[in-house]
Amino acid sequence: MSRRLQIAVIGSSKAICTKKAYVLAEEVGEEIAKIGAITLTGGGHGVMEAAMKGAKKQGGLTLAILPWEKMEPHNKYCDVIVATGIGWSRDAINLNSCDGAVIVGGGAGTLNEATYAYIEDIPIVALTSSGGMARTLTGIYFDERKTEKVIGVKTPKEAVKKLLEEIEKKKIKSKRPGLIKRKTDY
């Protein structure tokens, strides 16, 4: 049985999101939708909103994992909403529900999500040109286990392409082909 690829976009909330990070996140969302994958975010504003907006521009499906116990507030580009009611612990759900993650900008919350991705051996690509945690974390392993290196890229298109390559490597390594479906597989 196959399922659609789910890509998380993690990064700057509205409070610290630059115009540049917003534009880049929107482009990342567009690239995710172009391959037929689901764009997954925390459902808030800033990078989360931008990525979902970009996905919707390309007819993509969006999934929001909210920290609140209600389905409000969320950004207007959310198709499917999961209201966790567990606060920022929802970061674990975001990362457990994705095949890979793209970092755009970001601060402390993004660092938390990236750390979780690392611990769970989830591929991570950072859009270095967006600044913030994306630039800070590029090229590093979080500890001596060296499970996932944060791979830096310059463009949204490159981010999605590189992330797909890393996800494919994981799929081959796990010997579980066919679990992930891309638009080209339909």
- The full set of domains in the chain, from first to last, is 3-185 (3.40.50.450)
The C-alpha atoms of residue 104 and residue 25 are separated, in whole angstroms, by 6
Q: What is the pLDDT of residue 185?
A: 45
Lowest mean pLDDT among 3-12, 130-139, 150-159, 173-182: 173-182
The structure's pTM equals 0.92
Q: What is the pLDDT of residue 1?
A: 47
Q: What is the pLDDT of residue 175?
A: 58
Instruction: Give 186's pLDDT tier (boundaries 50, 70, 90).
Output: very low
Per-residue exposure over 3-36, b if at least 16 CB sit within 10 Å of its own CB, e if not: ebbbbbbbbbbeebbbeebbebbbbbbbbbbbbb
**Close Cβ partners of 103 (under 8 Å, ≥ 6 residues apart):** 10, 11, 110, 114, 124, 125, 126, 127, 130, 133, 134, 137, 150
Average pLDDT (5-10) is: 98
pLDDT digits (tens, 9 = 90+) for 69-79: 998 889 999 99
